Structure 1
Amino acid sequence: MRTVDTHFHWFPRSHFEAMAARAEYPRTERAGDGYRYYYNEGRGFLPLPAVWFDLDAGLAAAEAATGPETAVVCTTGVLSGLLDQLPAGDAVDIAAAYNEEIAKAQRTHRDRFFGTAAIPLQDGAQALAVLEHAIGELDLRAVNLPPVSAGDAIDAARLDPFYTRVAELGVPLIVHPTDLVFGEALSDYGDALQRTIGRLFDSSVTVLRLIFAGILERHPGLKVVQTHGGGFLPYQAGRIDKNARQPLPLPPSEYLKRTFVDTVTPQALTVRTAMEFYGAGQVLYGTDYPCWSPRAATGILGEARLSDAERDRVLSRNAPGVFDLS
């Protein structure tokens, strides 16, 4: 059975060329063979060297670590929230073009590369239209969820029709950290604070909002994938239950255990904690390529001392059902 890397990054250059043509922020600037992606009115930027745009190299690295049958699920990663900073009309056009390029790569690398959709959420009707096209026509396998939308938190009531339709389509929401919410507050020490804890705050708060707002209660079939071993949440589940005041039928930790997490964490203890808290059926193999080495990712699995059955589930058996990789 093939291995599936569920946390893999690649970007089509056409998206960054389109963003380089913009005069306003967010926009990109070429930097050698890569780009700088400016956001938050130009107060922050992401350096993206050429490796982010070389899909053949990425697929080769994945296969070198776990064999020629390896498949990858490509996400928008830290860029998931940048559509929100665009005017609604521009966001729709840029998202549609991005999704088309991802779908083209999925067709070109059939059964080796699976794409996920970028959805602008500023306007509910437009979000649903882009969603229908990305999943129904382009056959993308998941939706990337940012932490904020048009100044609202991601649990805003206006987004409930969006969550309803995602649940009906059966595709998962991928919650990946961004630098939009905590980036400026944690800008000391270069980017060390933001990269080490700020990004985990970002994804953890996003998932808690989905739980506290009752979104996972109203949509029990909604699949949520949180990256980086679940951020801070599995380690503080008892505190979350103790301090929650939301009128939910179940403790928040019970909804949390319905979510999926990946193994992108450079520590075997975190992998073991995820396995114990969520269960072997909820943990997905991921490498965060090119931010992390696929060989290092598989090395951590070895250090975590998984049983053969656990390792098989994490590497191969869980992802096809979550992302419908048939």
Structure 2
Amino acid sequence: MNSVYIDLAIGLVLAFLLFSLLLSGVNEGLVRLLGIRSKFLWAYLKDTLDGREGRKSIPGTIAEVFAALPFRRDERPAYSPQPPPVHSDATTWTGRLYERLREIDHDKDGRTSIASIPPVRFAIAMMEIVTSEGGVPAMLKKLEESGSPLYRPLKGAWDTAHGDLEAFRKAVEDWFDGEMHRLTMLYRRYVRWVIAALGLVLTLLFSMDALEYGRAILTDNAIRAQVTAIAGGGAQSLDSLRDKCPDHPADPYGCVTEVLSAPAFVQMVGHAPVSVRVPDGGSPQWSWNGGEWFQRLISPGHWPGFLITFVALLFGAPFWWDILRRLTGIRVRAGENAK
């Protein structure tokens, strides 16, 4: 009996893991296709280095992350394979920063694809700009004259460093590290809502009823147990299977083979508007299940299962992978854990 519950738990966890991975893949595909992560970073840098005279480039609402940010005016600098120039000809502080980051960049539709700047690399880039501007005081004066929001944090870092360039560089690095942490948390908060929306769409698209799936797993186990029990009982023992296999009255074993060749997980993903079936020795057969799919959506009996599936997907693939490891005893090597 314990093995039945273990099979049920593993089956549910594995299904939630696979669909969570699918959800993460869809989200990551959209992010990369639209360049959202890179645009998010450079919108922040534009606001922080140059200012926007009261108008913010960084998204102010959740809807702007996927609805406005990908399609409005791109704030990212144009891609350039050239090395940093000796004398900058950039007209903005964001442009001057990008000149120092070209070596870690690659082209993305004519724009920079940099989506993450290590704090150490940012601090080094700022020190290179300091040198080209004739020192920290001279650069601070230009930042103040241009109305750059970067003036105040750098002025505070310089005052704290008491004229020590190494201490100033370290202070700039620590400040930017904190800003990147804050920006990452903001980005994740926005994307969490996007993932929730995608999770809802995925749940409804496949009409994934977790309760129905659990019952299907138990049914598979029951059929296996019944076949095992009657395997040595002779032909008269097959009568109980014939009632369950009206399509195979003369060959109940063939019915069992067909049922077990379409396990619970296959049945779970088979309720989408379009499904595919691969018959023995034949080519895949596509079929339209729009009517059945819609009836499942409007059936109150499936709503609790949909809700459980939706909530489970919100936990994410790492959570379900950890649960699966604990249930199955899968061990991860120390080197992989370190990564």
- Same fold? TM cut 0.5: no
More helix by share: 2
TM-score category (smaller protein): under 0.3
Point out the structure with max Rg over C-alpha: 2
Structure in which a larger fraction of residues adopt strand: 1
Instruction: Report which structure shows greater RCO (CA 8 Å, sep ≥6).
Output: 2
